[in-house]
Structure 1
Amino acid sequence: MLFLIGTKDSNIKNGFVKNEICPKCNIENTLHFSIFRRYVYITFIPLFPVGKIVNIECTSCKNWFYYEDLSLEGQEKLRNEKLKNSIWMFSGTFVLLLFLAYCINNYFQNQNQIDILIKEPLVGDVYNLKFSNGYYSTFKIDKITSDSIYTTHNDFDTYMPYEIDDLDKAENYSNKKVSYSKNDLIKLYNSGEIIKIRHKD
């Protein structure tokens, strides 16, 4: 997925400053201003504002200039202008925070589920594994006795964790038979080698 990151300006207010001397033509008249809020976006979704730009036009000479070119009194007048609420510019941040909260909650729910499943293995369960060499694979439970688990390991492994579930195909389990005691299974989980357990319906 392609993400576009950048900044964009949004006009949040227009108005006039009266009785102000234009720094270009030195005539005292009414100046028209436009205030823009600059914000960061990701794929055109606003994340948060990062600054403000003020453009000012003299109604007499039609020249444009910036806030800093005004007199101190003119700058004070603009500072006192009430601006529109720009909370929508944080919408992407709110979405990201909600997504992060969902992921964290989902992670802990999965961990709680694994805590239960590791103590109650069933024939047909598939275990996702993370090896010390950085590769990932799976095994499935074929048989359970009072103190032992008999499994068949997957013939394939992957370097990408998101590809583990794709390895779980019947034809990928052949003759790699491995047995574990139930205590060994819990040790593998506690050491981080077992990272996911799926019940087979």
Structure 2
Amino acid sequence: MIFYGTNASRLKDGRLSNVICPNCNEQTSMTYSVFGKYAYIYWIPIFPLGKTNVLECNNCKRTYKLKELPQQIQQKFELEKHTGVPIKHFAGIGVIALIIAGISYSSFKHKEDEAKYIVDPMIGDVYSTETTSSGYFTTAKVAKVTNDSVFVIFNDYEIDKKHSTSEIDKAENYKTENMEGYTLNELQQLYKDEVIYNIERD
């Protein structure tokens, strides 16, 4: 279950002097509070949704939203130095940005590692590859490496989800009769053509 919604936090309190309350018609002062509204997911603020200003007459205790008051009181309120949007109301955006940056770096680093793996194969490397059956994918595990050749054992199973081949990457799914040999150049060309699209190394 995803918990999301809106909330508000108090940003500032203050006082307006020498104003006439529309309710009691007395010249008095008004206490005000500025609330910052924000959207959240799992109680983490994601982005601000504006501000709400609430004023209270110190004589009759009637409360108002700013827009309910006469123009002269609104103008006096606007002359006050009000706080901006707090950084914490953008906390969720920062968290999301960090997650995206982390995923991007991880993907970049993995591709960088793959570039090394494909020129220097090792026994146990697992290649995710598209099968001859359109729309299906499988894995092949490196079983033997010579000076210019690489021998792989193909997985007995195929899957229709490109990035879920780890689900079928199990030791019992590789049988030696499914072994095939490739020159190093052939293997590198398959990677370049994205027939081999992922390489995992323990």
CA–CA distance in structure 1, aligned partners of residues 165 and 152 of structure 2? 17
158-167 or 136-145: bigger deviation: 158-167
- Determine the C-alpha separation between the residues in 2 that align with 1:27 and 1:133: 82
2:190 corresponding residue in structure 1: 188
In 1, Cα distance between equivalents of 2:116 and 2:76: 65
| Counterpart residue number, 1:103 | 103
Q: Identity of counterpart residues, as a percentage?
A: 33
Structure 1 residue aligned with 2:157: 156
Cα pair distance change 1:160/1:40, threshold 3 Å: farther
Aligned pairs (5 A) from 1:12-161: 12-79=11-78, 80-83=80-83, 86-130=86-130, 133-160=134-161
- CA spacing shift, 1:186–1:69, aligned 2, 3 Å: same
Q: Which moved more, 1:128-137 or 1:69-78?
A: 128-137
Alpha-carbon displacement from aligned partner over 1:81-117 (angstroms, at most 9, x marks no partner)? 3327611112222122122212111211111111111
Equivalent-residue separation in structure 2 for 1:67 and 1:7 (angstroms): 21
Equivalences, count: 199
The residue matched to 1:118 in structure 2 has which SS?
Answer: helix
For 1:67, the aligned partner's letter is: L
Letter in structure 2 aligned against 1:21: I
Secondary structure of residue in 2 paired with 1:103 = helix
Residues 147 and 181, structure 1, Cα contact 8 Å, conserved in 2: yes
Deviations 1:165-197 (A, max 9, x none): 342221011243333332332222223332322
State TM-score, norm by structure 1.
0.84
Structure 2 stretches of 5 or more lacking a match?
Answer: none
For the Cα contact (< 8 Å) 2:36–2:85, is it kept in 1?
no
Deviates more, 1:35-44 or 1:127-136: 127-136
Rounded Cα–Cα distance in structure 1 between residues aligned with 2:134 and 2:84: 55
Separation of aligned partners in 2, 1:90 and 1:118: 42
Structural RMSD (CA): 2.4
Q: Is the 8 A contact 1:13 1:84 kept in 2?
A: no
Distance 1:13 1:98 in 2: 30
Normalised to the residue count of structure 2, the TM-score between the two structures is: 0.84
Name the amino acid aligned to 1:12: L
Which range moved further: 33-42 or 186-195?
186-195
Do the aligned partners of 1:36 and 1:52 also contact (CA within 8 Å) in 2? yes
Structure-2 separation of matches of 1:12 and 1:124: 58
> In the superposition, relative to structure 1, how do residues 11 and 119 fare at CA in structure 2: closer, same or farther (>3 Å)?
same
How far apart, in 2, do the equivalents of 1:181 and 1:99 lie?
39
Q: Which letter maps to 2:99?
A: F
Q: Assess if the C-alpha contact under 8 Å between 1:137 and 1:158 holds in 2.
A: yes
Shift, 1:9, TM fit: 0.8
